[in-house]
Every structure is written in C-alpha cells, then in structure tokens.
Structure 1
Amino acid sequence: MAATTPQTDRRYAWKVAASSFLGNTLEYYDFLVYGTAAAVIFPKVFFPGEEGFLGTLAAFGTFAVGFLARPLGGLAFGRRGDVHGRKSTLLLTLSLMGLSTIAIGLLPGYDTIGVLAPALLVLLRLVQGFAVGGEWGGSMIIVLESAPDHRRGFYTAWPNIGGFSAQILITGLFAWVYTLPEDALYAWGWRIPFLLSAIILAVTFWLRRSLHESPVFTETSGRPAEATSRPETPKRAGGPIRAIFLEDWRNLLLIVGLRFAEALPYFLLTVFALSYASGSLGLDKSTLNMAVLIVSVLAFPAHGLYAALSDRKGRRPVYLLGAIVVAVAAFPFFWLLQSGNFLLIVLGYVLVLNLGHNAINAVQPAFFAELFPADRRYTGAAAGREIASILTGGLTPFIATALAGPDGTRWPLVAGYVVLGAVITMVAVWKSPETFRRDLRSTGAGSSAAASGAHAGQC
C-alpha cells in the first residue's frame, strides 16, 4: 500500500481510535448506567413487590438478561461485518444500542403500567445487549486494522478505556442524581443519565460516518474502500459463523477462559460492590462512587503503559501479570472495603482494577482479534467475547449477591469466586498462542487453527 493509505496515516488511526473510544464509551455507559440503576433504583421502580434482598436479585437478574443477547449480536453483527464491512455494521450497532438506552429512560414504572413495566424493561435490555454484542468487536477491529503494525496493541487499548470514561460520566451524574429528594429521584431523576446518552450517540454517529472502511477488510475482500454495493457471497460454505465453530473452536474456548480475570473483578467492583457496601456495610454511596471515579481516571495512563509494553514484549506476559494481581488482591479488597476508611477503599480499588484488571483490559482487544484470520475476525472476536460475557460478566452481580447472602457475611465466597476466575484465566493464557507479530491479512481455512498451537505454553 502507498504511504498515504489510512493504514499508515497515524492521524487517521487516531481518528478511528477516537470514534471507537466514543462508541465503547456509549456501550459501557449504556450497560453500566443500567447496572448502577439496578443496584439502587430499579428494585423500587420496577420490582416494588420484592423487598430488600429479593428485589436486588430481581434487578440484577434483568442486568444479566442483557448479556444473554450479546452472543447472538456478536454472531449476527460479526458475520455482517466480515461480509459487508466493518464501518456500516458499526453504524447499525451504535444506533440500536443508543436508542434502546434512551427508551429505557422513557419507560414508565411499575406503579404506572404494572407488570408491563418490568416486561418492557427486559425486552429493551435484550435489544441493548444484542447491539452491544456487535459493537465491541467491530470497533476494536477497525482500529486494529487501521493502526501501524508495531503499535496495534497501543492503539486498540484506548477505545477499550470506554468502560472507565463511561464510569466517570455515570459517577458524576449519579453523584448529582443522589442529591435529589427521594420522591424526585425515583420519579424522574434516575431517567436523566439514560436520556443523556443521546448526546454521545449523536457525536459518535457523526464521527463514525466519516471513516473509511478498514484497509485490511478492503484488501482481503477485494472491495473498494468506499463501496456500498452488496459484496460477493462468502467463499467458504456456511460463511464465517460456521468456520469459527469448526476451525476456531479452540480459540473460542480460550477467549472464555481469558475473560474471567477481566470481567469478574470489573463488574464486581463497579456494580455488586455498590449494593454490598451500602446495604451490608452501611457505607455511603458517594464513598464508593468517588473510589470508582479515582480508579477510572488512573485507568488512562495504566492502559497506555500496559498496551505499549504488550507491543514490545507480547500479549501473553502482560495478560498473565494482570490475572496474577487480580487473584492476589481479591481477599485484600474486601478487607480494605470493610475498614470503612476512604483511602483504604481506594487502595483496594487501585490494586484490583488499575494494577490487575487494566493490564488485561489494555491487551484484550488486540489479543482476541489477532487470534482469528481476516475473513472471520469480526465474527470470531465478537462471538467469543460475548459468549464469555454471559458467564464472566452478566451473571457476576447476581452470583456475587447470592454468594454473599442477605446480610453479606459470606463475602469470602465472593472473593474465592474471583480467585477461581483468575486461575482459569492463567490456564487460558498458558494455552494461548502469542499473537503480537501475526500478519493481519492472513485468510483461509486452518490459518488460525495452525497458529493456535504454535507458541502455546511459552510465556
């Protein structure tokens, strides 16, 4: 390719990264604003017949429902992205995701429409999850395939900070929302964070429309960068969905294992801990919100550092380091949380998230996408990550709440749950190939499977 192509233009690569950063900010904003509301607001607004512990379980159950639709979205949008292109697919996922979140903010409560309220909440959560299932994989891949080869990890790490930028927005908004009188909070105040997602949706859609198609997709599919006509039928019978389950099933299993040490601590500390700390420990919600805000800001330099290191030393060593830290810090986190001391609570969050989770999260986009050849990369990365999200993400607040019990005294079971997940990830890293120097333009049967065993067991 010529020197002026999007792939070698760093300014354009940053533009793609910015678009994906905003898209993932919206993705995580939508999901985390729901999780925050599920922990505090939804038990009263949508499940008033279930008091206390049971109401929280019901709300976290609807939180998990969104994750059930994510693998279907990963498969559907992944296939579309591998066949029709990354850009147009990402415009579709972005629109669905944003509109479903706005609709939740407009949804009447149980007191207004009865059982229809939680039913519609579940339906919108499913639509939201379906869209999110295709957003992460596509937004990471279009950055990966547009970045300089030797900086792929660095560029793809920035969009994956979307979860923390979203957390900053949510923390700030709910800090204000929680100052409202109780009647106003439950009547209309909780709706404001959902409705404000429209701003992120509009800005991201405008920016994403101006992007080119991924140069790797253009080259491997033989289509012009700005082509809009329907592409040729996939060469492989059954398309990329069939291929990933027949030829890449080992990589799908690896991704499931690799996600435990990333998703468990993240949703534990940003969703479950808000309910546990306020309900079982009697801590003020603002204390946890401020701790989350601090680690969210620190996540930016942490991701940049870990991602740059992965471009030099490889994905596997950095990923393994993060899993080890998560395992070691799980029990100390709860000890520090129970102290009630703000500085110690912040220390616990920094240990688990900034030192542990961030190492994994920074490397994950490039690592997952590099496991698959170009003609099924979107399908494989998106489907693998979202299949894993059911076990490792969506069920975490529900399982943690059940393990802790009504009074929260069984917290060692929750910490042990995190340690077990981190050990599973360590095994998956050991079994994974190193990918940071892999050719992104490789296509065809067997290219991914053959590479899967090339470096497994070496770190």
Structure 2
Amino acid sequence: MSQSPQPRAERRSLYKAFAASLSGTSLEWYDFAVYSSAAALVFGDLFFPSGDPLTGTLQAFGTYAVGYISRPLGGIVFGRLGDVIGRKKVLVATLLLIGIATFGIGLLPTHASAGALAPTLLVLLRFAQGVGVGGEWGGAVLLSSEFSAQSQRGFWASAAQVGPPLGTLLANGVLAILAGVLTPAQFLGWGWRIAFLLSAVLVGFGLWIRASLEETPVFRELSERGERPAAPVREVFRTQPRALTAAVLSRVGPDVLYALFAVFVLTYATKTLHMSRGEAVTAVLVGSALQIVLIPLAGWLSDAYGRRRVYAIGAVGGAVWSVLFFALAQGGMVSLLIGVIVGLFFHSLMYGPQAAFVAEQFHARLRYTGSSLGYTLAGVIGGAIAPLAFTWLLAETGTGYVIGAYIVVACVVTLVGLGLGRAVVDDVDEAVDPGAMAVK
C-alpha cells in the first residue's frame, strides 16, 4: 500500500528535526575541526614544546585521538539513556557537554605559563568533548530519521552527516580569517582561542532549536506500547551482535578517509609539500563546501538505489583514489585541491547513506544504543589512530603510498561490514514508521 503525504504539521516537525540534527552535529564537528586544525598547526608548539617538530605533532594528534577513545563511554551512557528516557532530553545534554568543553579549551593556559598542567587540562577537555560526541551522533541521526517516512530515510538522516563538512567549513573558515588578519605571532599567541570561544554561539542556537522540538514519533509509539528496554547495552551485545559488527566495520573506511582528506592533509601539505597554511586550509574548505550538497545527494541516491550499493561505490572509489592522491598532490596547489575534492566526493558517497544504514541495523527499541555503540567503537579503530598512523608511516617510510595502502585496507573492512549488514528494516520498524502512522 502506498503512503499518502504526511500532514503539514508532521512536515513542519520533520523540517525542525532536520535543523536540530544539523545544528547539533555542526557544533560537534565545528569543535572537532577547530581542534584538529589547531592540533596540526599550533598545539604542538603551545602545549607540547619539543626540539623535534615531529614529536610535538604526534603528541598533539595524540590528544586528537583521546576525543575518539572517549566516545564509547558517551555511546554507552547517552545511548542507554536515549532508548530509556527519549531522544530529545539526551541531545540537549550532549550539546551542552560538547559546547562547554570546547569553550573551555579556548581559555586554557599554555605550556609556557602553566607547565604540565596545560596539556593535562587539554586532554581532559578533549576527553569530555569525545564523551559528548559519543552520545550526540546516534541521537542526531534518530532525530531526523524517525520523523521521516521509511522510503525517505536516507535523505533525512543525512542531516546528521552534513554536520561534519559544515562544521569543518565554519571552523576552517574562522581559522583562515584569523590567520589572514593576524600576524603569525598574534595567531599563535591568542588568535586561535577565538575560534574555540565562538562555539558558544552555536550552542545557543542548537539549544533554541532543540528546546522546541517534540519527541520523535517512533519513541512515543514505543513508549505507548511499553517497549522501552531496561538494559539496552547488554541487550544489544546479546541479541544483535551481527548488526553491531556490521555497523562498526562499515564506518571504518569513511573515518580513515576523512582523517586523510580533512585532517592529515593540513600537516602533509604544509610540512611535506611545503605549501602555505592558507593553501592547505583552502583545499579543505572547498572540499567541505561541496560535501554540504554531495552528502544529502548521496543519502537520496541510497533511497532510490539502495544503501549498500551507493556506500560500496564510495568505498571502492575512495580506496583507489587514496593511492593516486599522493602522486597527484606533488603537482602543486591545483593538484592538491583536485585531490581533496575527489577524495571527499568518495567520502560523501559513503557518509551520506551511513546514518540510515547504521540505524536500520538495529531494532527500533535499541536503535539509539546500537547506533551510538557502532559509531563510537568504529571511531576508536578508525578515526582515532589514523592521523597518528599517517604521521608515523610518513616519517618512517618517506612515502605517502604506504598511507594509501592503509586506507585501502580500511575500505576493504567497510565492504565486509556492508556485506554483513541487512538492507531492509524489520516489521517493528514498519509498525512505527511515521509515513505509515500518517495514514492511520
């Protein structure tokens, strides 16, 4: 039976949910992009001074990894709460935690004035960021997808996925403006702090949107039927191990690919290719701007042609392009720009369908917990160690092709995850599908 259009009130709720999902993940990735850019450009000097620039960069990226390692804790705590007390309440808490931690980083003393206390506080705040992010993504995905009809879930769930390029665009744009109007000494001395302090604006906007949002129709339906779980974390591990494995493995390739083309490329371009900081940031900005359109497009394509098909094309293309990139990048700024754009294009083909694919692996009553665990566990084995591994591999071998091989392996892991995953939702999801509820 075909579904009739959703009533106007439900469409307004869907649009509001899309905005709430997008604003939260944009803040999340603004914070993470500001940190990753600062880690590549200034944190090594400010918090981990050393006579060896490589050591400082490795230590700075080590704190970047802490933000990933702490994510499973956030996934467990907030994922459980999201399935028990609801999506909306948890997402307000995660937004506040991420925003406060990022604002705090902007106020930190440096190693020159506080010694070992400075990097210690940096790691603690980075850890808190990661805990918040661990609970944010799963809820943001459900916020938009659970207001949408099943046949459009790929597109609407992609709201959470647009957050990374939009947040990256905002973060690098702010850093580029600061680097352009300030001298290097001013930027290193205090200018970088402004980018972190500006997160307060995004927090305020996100809270305003989320405070006026209703609970998702899926969670309301589950509550009315008395199907909220008592111990969702234990239940996910006990009853849905294949779904969790598929969710984790499918996310490894996109995480690693993003670590190359949006994070490590800043270090590679400035320190290996000897380009300016502005040129490196510009390449990431252009690629991120295009992703704002490409990611929803990929989500829509997954609705029309299947999640796994679109996702797999991105994985294969990303693997091949990562090897070619290191030869292309030697050609200068234009070549670097093309390399980043194409790399992020293939990332978009994976990232657009990813939210719906991961959420659909789990029973509706366990979906917040399962999605959060899949997201956070993949981050530990994928995005957390990738910049560190890239830095070490390049220093040891002197060639980027080894990094390309690393990404090929990660994309193969993703293809295995796609093979394990299921392509259709089950009966309980149909029963609480908003599109189906609209015709009752």
Residues 420-431 of structure 1: matches in 2 within 5 Å? 420-431=409-420
Residues 60-71 of structure 1: matches in 2 within 5 Å? 60-71=61-72
* Secondary structure of the corresponding residue to residue 311 of structure 1: helix
CA deviation after TM superposition for structure 1 residue 27, in Å:
0.5
CA deviation after TM superposition for structure 1 residue 159, in Å:
2.7
Matching residue within 299, 305, 320 for 2:312:
320
Is 1:249 equivalent to 2:249 in the alignment?
A: no
CA contact (8 A) 1:70 1:130 kept: yes
Structure-1 residue corresponding to 2:100: 99
**Cα distance in structure 1, aligned partners of 2:86 and 2:5:** 21
Residues 275-290 of structure 1: matches in 2 within 5 Å? 275-290=267-282
Output the amino acid matched with 1:353.
L
Structure-2 residue corresponding to 1:410: 399
**Cα distance in structure 2, aligned partners of 1:219 and 1:233:** 9
Matching residue within 215, 218, 222 for 1:216:
218
Stretches of structure 1 lacking an aligned partner (at least 5 in a row): 224-231, 444-459
CA contact (8 A) 2:247 2:421 kept: no
Residues 430-441 of structure 1: matches in 2 within 5 Å? 430-435=419-424, 440=429
Output the amino acid matched with 2:374.
G
Residues 384-403 of structure 1: matches in 2 within 5 Å? 384-403=374-393
* Secondary structure of the corresponding residue to residue 440 of structure 1: helix
Structure-1 residue corresponding to 2:342: 351
Structure-1 residue corresponding to 2:361: 371
Classify 1:50/1:12 alpha carbon distance in 2 versus 1 (closer, same or farther; 3 Å): farther
CA contact (8 A) 2:152 2:303 kept: yes
Output the amino acid matched with 1:292.
V
**Cα distance in structure 2, aligned partners of 1:333 and 1:3:** 47
Aligned positions, number: 429
CA deviation after TM superposition for structure 1 residue 4, in Å:
11
**Cα distance in structure 1, aligned partners of 2:414 and 2:229:** 35
CA deviation after TM superposition for structure 1 residue 7, in Å:
10
* Secondary structure of the corresponding residue to residue 394 of structure 1: coil
Output the amino acid matched with 1:258.
S
**Cα distance in structure 1, aligned partners of 2:273 and 2:364:** 49
Is 1:273 equivalent to 2:273 in the alignment?
A: no
CA deviation after TM superposition for structure 1 residue 51, in Å:
2.6
Output the amino acid matched with 2:289.
V
- TM-score of the two chains, using structure 1 as the length reference: 0.89
Structure-1 residue corresponding to 2:33: 32
CA contact (8 A) 1:18 1:159 kept: no
CA contact (8 A) 2:98 2:133 kept: yes
CA contact (8 A) 1:373 1:442 kept: no
CA deviation after TM superposition for structure 1 residue 298, in Å:
1.3
Is 1:334 equivalent to 2:303 in the alignment?
A: no
* Secondary structure of the corresponding residue to residue 9 of structure 1: helix
Classify 1:215/1:417 alpha carbon distance in 2 versus 1 (closer, same or farther; 3 Å): same
Residues 80-99 of structure 1: matches in 2 within 5 Å? 80-99=81-100
**Cα distance in structure 1, aligned partners of 2:10 and 2:227:** 31
Classify 1:114/1:207 alpha carbon distance in 2 versus 1 (closer, same or farther; 3 Å): same
Is 1:152 equivalent to 2:153 in the alignment?
A: yes
Matching residue within 299, 307, 317 for 2:291:
299
- TM-score of the two chains, using structure 2 as the length reference: 0.93
Output the amino acid matched with 2:273.
L
CA contact (8 A) 2:17 2:144 kept: yes
Structure-1 residue corresponding to 2:302: 310
Give the percent of matched residue pairs that are identical in Structure 1 and Structure 2: 39
CA contact (8 A) 2:92 2:210 kept: yes
**Cα distance in structure 1, aligned partners of 2:428 and 2:318:** 31
CA deviation after TM superposition for structure 1 residue 440, in Å:
2.2
**Cα distance in structure 1, aligned partners of 2:229 and 2:78:** 18
Stretches of structure 2 lacking an aligned partner (at least 5 in a row): 433-440
* Secondary structure of the corresponding residue to residue 106 of structure 2: helix
CA contact (8 A) 1:302 1:358 kept: yes
Structure-2 residue corresponding to 1:453: none
Select the structure that is richer in helix: 2
CA-to-aligned-CA distance 1:129-177 (integer Å, 9 cap, x gap):
0011000110111111111222111111133111111111122111122
Higher alpha-carbon deviation: 161-170 or 303-312: 303-312
Higher alpha-carbon deviation: 45-54 or 211-220: 45-54
Classify 1:439/1:306 alpha carbon distance in 2 versus 1 (closer, same or farther; 3 Å): farther
Is 1:173 equivalent to 2:179 in the alignment?
A: no
**Cα distance in structure 1, aligned partners of 2:174 and 2:125:** 22
Structure-1 residue corresponding to 2:189: 187
Output the amino acid matched with 1:193.
A
**Cα distance in structure 2, aligned partners of 1:94 and 1:235:** 24
Structure-2 residue corresponding to 1:119: 120
CA contact (8 A) 1:43 1:50 kept: no
CA deviation after TM superposition for structure 1 residue 343, in Å:
2.4
Classify 1:272/1:172 alpha carbon distance in 2 versus 1 (closer, same or farther; 3 Å): same
Higher alpha-carbon deviation: 58-67 or 421-430: 421-430
Output the amino acid matched with 1:434.
A
CA contact (8 A) 2:155 2:300 kept: yes
* Secondary structure of the corresponding residue to residue 429 of structure 2: coil
**Cα distance in structure 2, aligned partners of 1:6 and 1:104:** 45
CA-to-aligned-CA distance 1:368-422 (integer Å, 9 cap, x gap):
011111111000001111011011111111111011116x723111110011111
Structure-1 residue corresponding to 2:253: 261
**Cα distance in structure 2, aligned partners of 1:205 and 1:53:** 40
CA contact (8 A) 2:364 2:428 kept: no
